[in-house]
Structure 1
Amino acid sequence: MAKPNILLIYTGGTIGMIKDFKTGVLKAFDFKNLLDKIPELQLLDCHIKTVSFEKPIDSSNMNPEYWVQIAEIIETNYNKFDGFVVLHGSDTMSYTASALSFMLENLAKPVVFTGSQLPIGDLRTDAKENLITAVQMASLQENGSPVVKEVCLYFEYKLYRANRTTKINAENFKAFASLNYPELAESGVHLKVNHDYLWKPDLKHTLIVHKNLDTNIAIVKLFPGLSETFLRTVLATPSLKAVVLETYGSGNCTTEAWFINLLQETIKQELHIINVTQCVGGSVMMGQYETSNQLKAIGVISGKDITTEAALSKLMYLLGQNIPKQEFKKVFETSLRGELF
C-alpha cells in the first residue's frame, strides 16, 4: 500500500523559530530543510512536502485574509495529498482552526493544526513532539481511507476537534482545552483514537471552499457596571451585522429595562445577537433562569455550548453566505461541523 502524502503548511509562529545559541536571538527556521533538521520525521510512514507563507507571520497578526490563503493552499493541493498539517502560532490558533472548519465544507481528509510554546531549537521544546505526532495523526489510514476527516488541533498529547478548542494557558505546554467535547485521540505509548467522537462527513459530496467572510461583527462581554452609553455606542457601529454577547453562567444577564429594550431594538433592526457563555465549559440554556428568559423572548440566538472562537468564525462564514434573516437563527443554532450540540 502506498504511503500517505502529507503537506506541511507553515504560516508562522513560535514553532518556526530557532535560537541562535551564541546570541540568544530567535530567528526564522527554514522549512525547506525541515527533514534535514528533524530527521525523526523520516521515520514516519508517509511522504512529507512543505509549503510556507511567503512572509510567515506572528499569529497575533492573523486575520481572515490569511485564513483564505490557508484554505486556498489546501484547495489547490487537495487531490495531491492525503492530509494536511498547519503550523500556526498558538495565540490565535483556535480562531483560525475554527474558521477553516467552516470554510472547508465536505472536507474528507485531515487538516491538523499544531504549534508550540517553545521554539523548535530550544532544549526543552514541545515543538518536535507536537509536529511529529500531528503529522502521524494526519497520516493515519484504515483500508486506504483517512481515519480523521475534519479540521483538528493537536497539542500536548491530545487531538481535539478544532472548533471545540480554546487556549487556556500562556505558559504551560498544555495550552489548549476542549471542555465541551472529548478529545478525538490521545498520544501515549500508542495512539488511542476515539472513533465514536470523530466527525463523519457525507463522502458523496466534493470539497467546497468558502472564501467570502464577513467581519462586520463585535464581541461584548458583560460585566457588572456595563453602561448603556457604551453598549449603545457599540451597537450603533456602522455596518455592524452581528454581536457575540458573552453572558454569565448558562446565558444569564442583567434584567434592567434599558438593557433588554436596547437589545430588542437592535434585533428589530436585523442585527443578530448570539448568546455565548463567558465560562470555558458548559452551555447556554436560555429560559432556565429568569435572568435569561427575556433574552429568549426577544429573539436572541442561543450559542448553546459553542466557544467564542467558533461563534465568531461561524458568524463570519454565515454572514458571508447571505442567509435570509428568517433562517439565520435556525442555521446558527444547528451544528454544521460538530461545533455545538
Structure 2
Amino acid sequence: MVQNAGNVKLLLRLFRLGCLAFLIGAGFAFYFLHTALTPADPEGISKPLVVEIPEGASAAGIAQSLETNGLIRSALAFRILVRFGGQDGAIRAGHYTLSASENPVKILDHLVKGDTMQRRVTLPEGLTLVEVAGILEKNEVCPAQDFLEMARTRGKDFGPGFPENLEGYLFPDTYDLPWKCSTSEVLGILTSRFDEIFTPLWSEKAPLGRAETVVLASLVEREAQVQSERAVIAGVYLNRLAEGMLLQCDATVQYALGRQKSVLMHQDLKIDSPYNTYRHPGLPPGPICNPGRAALEAAVRPQRTEYLFYVRNDVKGDGSHVFSRNYTEHEKSIDRYQR
C-alpha cells in the first residue's frame, strides 16, 4: 500500500511537471507565433525604411538590425523563423524598402526573394557615351566622370568581343539597376545586354566584320529617322565603300564637333578629325553613338540597291529621305526637296 501511494505521488508530480512544461511550451509557441505573425507597427503609422543587408551578413546580425530599426518585435523570434524555415544563408544582400506594418514572415519573404530597391533608367537609342554618363549621374547611379574613364579605357575587361572604348557597345534599353552598384557593375550590365542582342544577329554572312558592323549601325542610327529606311541607308554606305567614295555622313561631323548643330556649315565639314567622313575615306575609326536593335539589324542585313546618295525630304517634313543613284539625280533632289 505504501509503495502504491508513492507511485501515485510520483505520477502526480510527473503530471504536474508535464502540465507545466506544456504550459511553458504553449506560452512560448504563442509568443513565437504572435511575434512572427504580428507587425511591429500594425497601425501603419511609421514610414517605410531603407535597410541595407551587407554581403555575407549573418541571420543574427540581420535580425538585430531589423529589431533596432523597429521593423520587427523580436530579433530572437526572427532568428527562429529563419532557422525553422531552413533559410539560413538564403537572405540576399542589397538595399530594401521595408515597412513595420508588414509581419516578420512577409519581411523575411522580401529578403529571401531579393526584392531589393532598384533605379529604373532608360537609355534611348543613339546616345553617345557622354550622354549615357549624364543620364546615369542624373539618376544617381554613378558619377559621370568615373563612368567615362572606365568606358573609354577598360572595355576589354567586359569580354573578348569588346574594344577598349565602349562607345557603340552599351545597348539602349530600360534597365532596373541595383540601388547601389559600382561603375564596373553598370558597364557589365549594359555590355551583357549588347552581347545578348547583337551576337545572335551578327554572322559571318554579314557584309562587314563584327566591329565594322557596329560602326555602320551607329551611322544608320543617327542618320535614319524612319524605320523603313534604315536598311536602305546602310546599303547606301556599303555601296559608297565599294565604289571607294567618301561616306560624307553628316552625323560623323557632328560627332567630331562634339555637339549637335541643327545645320552644318561648310566650315564644319573641314574639321580635322578621323571621324570626319567628308575628309577621310572609309568608315570612321569607331562608332559615333550606341545603336539600337533596328540599326544593328540594318547593318547586318542591309537592303541591296543602286543608291549612292540621299537627301532629307523637307517637303514631307517627316524625317524621310529621297534616294538617288548618281550625282545628277542627287542635285535634282536637293533642288526639289531641300528647304
Q: Is TM > 0.5 for Structure 1 vs Structure 2?
A: no
- TM-score norm. by structure 2 comes to 0.26
Greater CA radius of gyration, 1 or 2? 2
- TM-score norm. by structure 1 comes to 0.26
Q: Is the helix fraction higher in 1 or 2?
A: 2
